[in-house]
Amino acid sequence: MIEARCVCVNYGGLNALNNVSLTMCDGEFTAVLGANGAGKSTLLKVLTGFLRPSSGEVFFGGKPLREISARGLALRRSVLEQEAHSEFDCTVFEMLSFGGFARGGVFCAAPGEGGRICAALEKVGLSGAEGRKYSELSGGQKRRVQLARAIFQLEDGGDMAGKGLFLDEPSAGLDPSHAHCAMRAVGEMCARGVSVFAVLHDPNLALAYADKCLLLKGGEPFMFGRAEEVLTAQNLSEIYDSECEEVFTARGKFVVFPGKGALRRA
């Protein structure tokens, strides 16, 4: 279980996050939505331990985050950052294996890592890509390689319950089919007991995959609760400051943003 209590972050007098509290149970998918600059990525940085909050505290399995070592933390949570780049030309296999730092010894990786790397790549629809050069992949493929790396970091062949997967816009740059493929891979992790925390820009992905949803507006928590209750047209138009409509199909509820005064050819 991962818990944030009254987290505040100040960037030089600017309140980036104000009094955010949330609880993530094992196997729960929590999505966070908000306009650009609402503090989503800042919250993710605080939850992963990269940024120390100005006040408030994050607990990982009941233990304060700052009391857990970097290596201990790496064994229990992994992070997909918004952008990842490498100046040196790695293969996909190397890219993933570099993420397995915490499990290995001084010079050698943990045994059985090769198989886990291939399995993680298969989960994101990239089986057989391990020998490819990372720099030669398309943007969407790179994104999925990074997701595979985050998944691989958590796979130690044992129990996955109590671990956390933190994703900053996992579907960015992916076409709809691959976005769903990536989200399904994330959903599989949830089913195995991993708590997932994802910054999402597409409320429909949150409606389809998330259990809980946190809406942020200007660094303040706007609403936190079950995804289908939180993601209403009224709430969404409020946080994005843009007109929102609900659409119902045989597959359930979807939301669209028609846009005020959008130009449209008749």
Partner 1 sequence: MAVRSASADFGGGERGARARRRGLSRNPAFVGCALFFALAALSFASLSTGSSGADFSLPFDILFGGEVGPSAELIFFQIRLPRLCVALIAGVSLSLAGATMQALFRNPLADPSVMGVSAGAALGAVVAMSFFGGALSLVSLQIGAVVFGLAATAFVCALGRGGTILSCLLGGIAVNALCGAVVGFFLYSAREAGLKSYIFWMLGSLDNADWNSIAHASLVSVPAWIAVMACARGLNALLLGWEQAYHSGVRVKLLWRACVAATSLMTAAAVSICGIIGFVGLVIPHIMRLWTGPDNRRLLPLSALAGALLMVGADLLSRAANPADPVPIGVITSLLGVPFFIFLLKFGKGEK
Q: How many CA atoms lie within 13 A of 15 on its CB side?
A: 12
Rounded Cα gap, residues 216 and 98, in angstroms: 34
Measure Cα distances from 36 to 16, 142, 181 in Å.
12, 23, 25
The nearest distance, CB 22 to partner 1, in angstroms, is 20
The nearest distance, CB 32 to partner 1, in angstroms, is 18
The nearest distance, CB 181 to partner 1, in angstroms, is 4
Taking the least distance from each CB to partner 1, the nearer of 32 and 213 is 32
Q: Is 17 exposed, middle or buried (0-12, 13-18, 19+ CB in 10 A)?
A: buried
Report residue 125 as tokens: 């629809």
Residues forming the site for partner 1 (CB under 8 A):
48, 50, 69-75, 77-79, 81, 84-91, 93-95, 97-102, 104, 106-107, 109, 122, 124-133, 141, 144, 149, 153, 177-178, 180-181
Which residue type occupies 175?
D
Strands 164-168 and 195-199: parallel
The nearest distance, CB 46 to partner 1, in angstroms, is 13
Taking the least distance from each CB to partner 1, the nearer of 10 and 135 is 135
Taking the least distance from each CB to partner 1, the nearer of 76 and 228 is 76
Rounded Cα gap, residues 33 and 39, in angstroms: 10
User: Phi-psi bin for 244: left (phi > 0), alpha (psi -120 to 50), beta?
Assistant: beta
DSSP per-residue letters across 223-245: EEEEHHHH--HHHHHHHHTS--E
The nearest distance, CB 174 to partner 1, in angstroms, is 10
The nearest distance, CB 167 to partner 1, in angstroms, is 12
